[in-house]
Amino acid sequence: MMPASAIFFYVIAAAILVTAILSVTTRRIFRAAIWLLLSLMGIAGIYFWLDMNFLAAVQIVVYVGGIVVLIIFSVFLTQGSGQSLPLPAKFRLFFSAVAVSLGLAFTIWILQGYGFLATAPEVPAVEMREIGKTMLSVQSGGYALPFELVSILLLAAMVACIAIAMKIPADKKND
């Protein structure tokens, strides 16, 4: 008999697969975005199931709260987003089927070759404090440099946004 945690895993995994397939096969662009959202939430569910709470929360904040909302906003701005898209051409269907089967075969091959451990080693509970310290640590294994790089990138993007959105007063325009 399956333990309860296995039931949870299979339910979540099935939800991820079904919604992922639906998101690429649906012909309405807004529905595709919603299926993608549900699929990403399923992945967050898997992280919660693995007790990787921080990763799960970040998955939701970044992908669900951020990227999917951006996608939905751009769908709103698309003309005719309510109609069904036409079916793709035959040769495109053929080549995407080939690409998908090749990818699937490659993944299965990698999984077959990977020696899974029969019993997983005890995963240490990741404390938020540790994550925060590692993020700002300058020792080896610390993430201070990538963290600062990303901050500078974001700052540059924000300055650029202000530059685009800023209104130049009419009397200064001619100078």
Partner 1 sequence: MFSFQQLAQQTHAWLQQHTGSFTVLVECAIVAVFAITLFAVLGLVLVLLERKVAAHIQIRVGPNRVGPAGLLQTVADTLKLLMKEGLVPNLADKFLFNLAPFIVMMVAMLLLAPVAFARGIQIWDINIGVLYISAISSISVIGILMAGWSSNNKYAMLGAMRSGAQIVSYELSAGFSVLCIVVLSGSLRISDIIAAQENGWWIFKGHIPVLISFVIFIIAVTAETNRAPFDLAEAESELTAGFHTEYSGMRFALFFLAEYINIFIVCAIGATLFFGGWMPLHIAHWEGFNHVMDYIPSSVWFMGKTFALILLIMWFRWTFPRLRVDQLLTLEWKYLLPIGLFNLLLVAIIAIMGWHF
Residues of this chain that bind partner 1 (CB under 8 A): 3-5, 7, 28, 30-31, 34, 37, 41, 53-54, 57-58, 60-61, 64-66, 68-69, 72-73, 76, 82, 125, 127-129
Q: How far apart are CA 19 and CA 16, in angstroms?
A: 5
Nearer to partner 1, 85 or 108 (CB): 85
**Please, what is the minimum distance in Å from the beta carbon of residue 175 to partner 1?**
27
Q: How far apart are CA 8 and CA 2, in angstroms?
A: 10
Nearer to partner 1, 145 or 165 (CB): 165
Q: How far apart are CA 37 and CA 57, in angstroms?
A: 14
**Please, what is the minimum distance in Å from the beta carbon of residue 135 to partner 1?**
14
Nearer to partner 1, 47 or 143 (CB): 47
* DSSP H/E element including 31: helix 29-49
Do 38 and 64 contact (CB within 8 A), yes or no? no
Sign of CA dihedral 49, 54, 58, 60: positive
**Please, what is the minimum distance in Å from the beta carbon of residue 70 to partner 1?**
10
